[in-house]
Chains A and B, each alone.
Chain A
């Protein structure tokens, strides 16, 4: 590969890339979510079939397109026809259609709520309400193709920063932009950079935090997989601004594709001269190493992450002294989240004021969320800050599946809070979510329908956090253990009113007295559900009832005589022979024997088995 010695070299390279840029191409989402849905087979057949037919249509294996619930997603450019849930056997038809300029109806997206079918990606409501800024180039570039990245303005922010701006001007733009950390805490990136930049230390570090541990969150994974150059460009600019010559990308071990792509991207940038000594002849030296996390959730916490990079056990420490003063190996260190860094090139290119015009007073720009749960369109979405939860859940998410009622949306990962329908008009921004008892977190968003038991949901998240607590400080280690024990008791119908009060007391202390962010935010799922769904706790405790039918100890299965046709299926399927009844006669469940596995309810075609 050629080595770029100057800005002019890079621009020449860009022009060449642009001149070779195809107008017609097929983009196939090939991130982890798509691969799980069989995208690799589609890609293989597509490649083969295109070669066999001698077609001149490049195929781009890109990062995930966002509509992950419908993966693999394929878009035919230049028109932008979107096909979803594509299988390998669909490939010949697709290519026939492409050659003839036709469209395959059966692979188009149909809105599950309205029944409207859409041909073009840009018309689909899921995309329409979004503002895809950092995710913008995702479906247009091959993750490891520098040429693709250059065609979409890649490294123009880097050259602008290096040759047209002073480090302090870059920092000023980031301050003006109001960009806040996308990893959870929402600290202002510009201030962090400014603080690190003014430290006189000759050795400084910049770390990119890609230890995304929240269950159900995959924003950073998709960015590292699909747009590694974007993240790295932001990081190089950050390093230049603060005067760091060494950087680390900390990726969790569970992300093999992200690790691979970011590693390969770094190698390519080194070969090109965009990393290493005297980058583009600017005189600035900077290099990046990839560090793989060992799989502890707490390592996403800044001080634990730094300990982990240093090769010590990933345990948090007190942070009265910021990392920007004394971080990695005691040196000034800036730690930014993947998505935060991915925003930087846009701020440098278009200016802080342009960025600050997006969003709300205190939360600027866009935020990527991984939308999951009981909605139609699960996937990765990017919205301007300040959009309401309702818009995200209904307009983008497509509403609740199977006509059920909305119950709660959990934002901010396992230690976020659950917000009820009354909070759906809440704008999505750092401070309002905090005030409502939840948080922005790294951007997980789980929507729950009426079948979710809020006590059980709280128990689930507290269990996760109890297992992931490092155990260093007492409130988090012991407090969570007892919160879990109490929640277990309540879901088993053995809870008392004192237990609910004790939960609140524990929640207060764990939130206030814990050492790190994990403990400080861990009571959120409990405190928010007690706040918004108190009646469900009371039902569990006083009436020994679980209205959602989730808590096994509080429900039993019953066959409604009027509906039972005596088909005998439940009799045959019951694993513990708890059902009696003759064919064509009414069947009965023996409550003594029943283990509440729910198989009878699942197999009954006549809706005769009820949970009561």
Chain B
């Protein structure tokens, strides 16, 4: 066990835990948009930056991947933290002005106005979808294209992504909910990835529960007999 203090509060954390995890467990709020415990830390949104003092040295680090250590002193409320946090969110709000999730966050951390020219993107480029697809699903159906502010998440060549099985994990994980999944006439459609796949119905209850692409993927991956795979989670 590791003992540290966060904002003056004594916190006990597990060895190897990150500052963000330790803070969350202790009920101390640190905003983070590109962090999810199921994927590796990415340190891109920079909202979780905190001041960490170890020995004589104070560093300004991302809480989402900085590992706790004994007698570490963490401050999440210094002027520097607040200044950076606010401006970073303001920049994100200029990039994506119409996301309610950002507006909510703005209320919490106190961003009152956006002083920059606005674009009309909807994706905050946190890479959560890309990383989930690669790390959790094990496919690399989507990725980043371009660099700097022309960067975007897309399928290869912006064409229907071959490996995509329309599992919807990207949509589920998206912190700003901009990857819609539609189900129409027995098909699942993900417009963002230009992909459409026929749905498979449960052999017991008859409800659609996965796409054909997903079915084939699971069949190959698990080697389970077809009749067993055709039963939905509820009926299993």
Q: Of residues 410 to 469 in A, which have CB atoms within 8 Å of B's CB atoms?
A: 466-469
Total CB contacts across the A-B interface at under 8 A: 97
Q: Enumerate 14 A-B pairs (CB-CB under 8 Å) in ascending A order.
A: A318-B41, A320-B65, A471-B146, A471-B148, A472-B44, A473-B44, A475-B91, A477-B125, A478-B92, A481-B149, A482-B94, A482-B116, A502-B115, A509-B83
- Contact A478 B149, beta carbon cutoff 8 Å: yes
Taking residues whose C-beta sits less than 8 angstroms from the other chain, chain B's interface range is 35 or more
B47, B80, B115, B124 interface centre (most CB from chain A within 10 Å):
B115
Q: Tell me if B67 counts as interface (CB < 8 A to partner A).
A: yes
Contact in complex: A474, B67 (CB < 8 Å)? no
Would you list the 4 A-B pairs with minimal beta carbon distance, nearest first? Answer: A471-B151, A478-B91, A513-B84, A469-B148
Task: Return the contact of A470 from the options B45, B49, B83, B148 (Cβ within 8 A).
Answer: B148
Name, among A466, A467, A474, A480, the residue most crowded by chain B CB atoms within 10 Å (CB to CB).
A474
Q: Does B95 contact A (CB under 8 A)?
A: yes
Residues of B83-97 contacting chain A, CB below 8 A: 83-84, 87-88, 91-92, 94-95
Q: Once the chains bind, are A475 and B148 in contact (CB under 8 Å)?
A: no
Question: Would you call B60 an interface residue if the criterion is a C-beta within 8 Å of the partner chain's C-beta atoms?
Answer: yes
- Report A282 CB to chain B, min CB distance, Å: 40
Count contacts on A: residues with CB < 8 A to the other chain. 33
B149 touches A515 (CB 8 A): no
Taking a contact as CB atoms under 8 Å apart, the answer to whether B43 and A512 are in contact is: no
Contacts of B222 in A (CB 8 A): none
User: What residues of chain B lie closer than 8 Å to A399, measured between beta carbons?
Assistant: none
Question: Which A residues lie at the B interface, using CB under 8 A?
Answer: 296, 298, 313, 317-318, 320, 466-475, 477-482, 485, 498, 502, 505-506, 508-509, 512-515
- B88 touching A470 by the CB < 8 A rule? no
Q: How far apart are B125's CB and chain A's nearest CB, in angstroms?
A: 7
Docked Cα-Cα span, A1 to B91, in Å, equals 61
Q: Which residue of A lies closest to B18 (CB)?
A: A320
Kindly list chain A residues whose C-beta atoms are within 8 Å of the C-beta of B107: none
B61: interface (CB < 8 Å): yes
Give residues 25-77 of B contacting A (CB, 8 Å). 41, 43-47, 49, 60-62, 65-67
Contact A513 B117 (CB under 8 A): no
Q: A474 contacts which chain B residues (CB < 8 A)?
A: 44-47, 88, 91-92, 124-125
> B39: shortest Cβ distance to chain A, in Å?
14
Contact A514 B46 (CB under 8 A): yes
Q: Which residues of A contact B148 (CB under 8 A)?
A: 466-471, 477, 480-481
Q: Select from chain A the residue with minimum beta-carbon distance to B47.
A: A474
Query: Which B residues are closer than 8 A to A by beta carbons?
Result: 41, 43-47, 49, 60-62, 65-67, 80, 83-84, 87-88, 91-92, 94-95, 115-117, 124-125, 127, 144, 146-151
CA distance A516 to B7 in the complex (A): 26
B147–A485 touching, CB < 8 Å: no
**Which chain B positions have C-beta within 8 A of A320?**
61, 65-67
Q: Are B95 and A478 in contact (CB under 8 A)?
A: yes
- B82 CB to nearest chain A CB (Å): 11
Closest A residue by C-beta to B41: A318
Q: How far is the CB of A232 from chain B (nearest CB, A)?
A: 32
Q: Given A471, A473, A475, which contacts B147 in the complex, CB threshold below 8 Å? A: A471
**Shortest Cβ gap from B42 to chain A (Å):** 8
Q: Are B147 and A318 in contact (CB under 8 A)?
A: no
Q: Which residue of B lies closest to A519 (CB)?
A: B46
A467 and B151 alpha carbons, distance in the complex (Å): 11
Q: How far is the CB of A528 from chain B (nearest CB, A)?
A: 20
A-side contacts of B147, CB under 8 Å: 296, 298, 467-471
Q: Identify A509's interface contact among B62, B87, B117, B124, CB under 8 A.
A: B87
Q: A472-B151, A474-B44, A478-B149 are in contact. List 12 more A-B contacts (CB 8 A).
A: A296-B147, A320-B66, A471-B125, A471-B147, A471-B150, A473-B43, A478-B92, A478-B94, A478-B95, A479-B87, A481-B149, A513-B60
Please give the distance in Å from B46's CB to the nearest CB on chain A. Answer: 5
CB distance from B129 to the nearest CB of A (A): 15
CA distance A331 to B92 in the complex (A): 36
Chain B residue with the shortest CB-CB distance to A469: B148
CB distance from A193 to the nearest CB of B (A): 22
